[in-house]
Structure 1
């Protein structure tokens, strides 16, 4: 199977400037909220893995889905304000990493 070339689009998120003071600012609050949501999602995953009752599992799953959506929303706000930076990568490096993981998976899970 022939792989399609990987297209890299530039990551552009101009940083919204905020005054740097000893007091907490909007960026600090959003960063704290995002980190809390990440922690909550991981905790819910552990609860899902250990839920012994189907109804409990479904309740936790519904809450997890809401938390994951909230986490994504916070990430998007921070990214759009330029407060969450991502580094672009060369297309060749992406393809190389994909091939590395594909080879690993083929070794671990032969067909």
Structure 2
């Protein structure tokens, strides 16, 4: 049986100076990490919001943070600083089967409170 090497999905790397000072890649990586932390924190805040208006405000800011995070990721990917690895077909099939099994366990119909 032959093994097919899957090729990574990436753009050509934009070079940055390798010095002790932060470069563009370092700044964007730091911003991306911060946005990931912020969106997680906003999610927690939304779960614990005691007032609907507060929930809506946090949700709006969270969505803006998600958009910023996505733009940072896209910039890193375009500059070749972020590489994606295609998932093996077997992994995708296993994930699909697991999720299909979970879907069958979910109650059908509308849930009422």
Same fold (TM over 0.5): yes
Match of 2:106 in 1: 109
65, 78, 81: which is aligned to 1:80?
A: 78
Hey, what's the Cα distance between the residues in 1 that align with 2:22 and 2:71?
A: 21
TM (normalized to structure 1)? 0.80
Alpha-carbon offset, residue 107 of structure 1: 6.5
Hey, what's the Cα distance between the residues in 2 that align with 1:93 and 1:50?
A: 35
Please, what is the CA RMSD of the aligned residues?
2.2
44, 50, 61: which is aligned to 1:63?
A: 61
Hey, what's the Cα distance between the residues in 2 that align with 1:90 and 1:54?
A: 43
Match of 1:38 in 2: 36
Question: Is the 2:35–2:68 Cα contact (8 Å) retained in structure 1?
Answer: yes
**Aligned positions, number:** 103
1:36-78 Cα deviation digits (max 9, x unpaired): 0000000000010011111111111111111111111111101
Hey, what's the Cα distance between the residues in 1 that align with 2:57 and 2:14?
A: 38
TM (normalized to structure 2)? 0.79
Matched, 1:19 2:40: no
Match of 2:51 in 1: 53
Hey, what's the Cα distance between the residues in 2 that align with 1:110 and 1:68?
A: 31
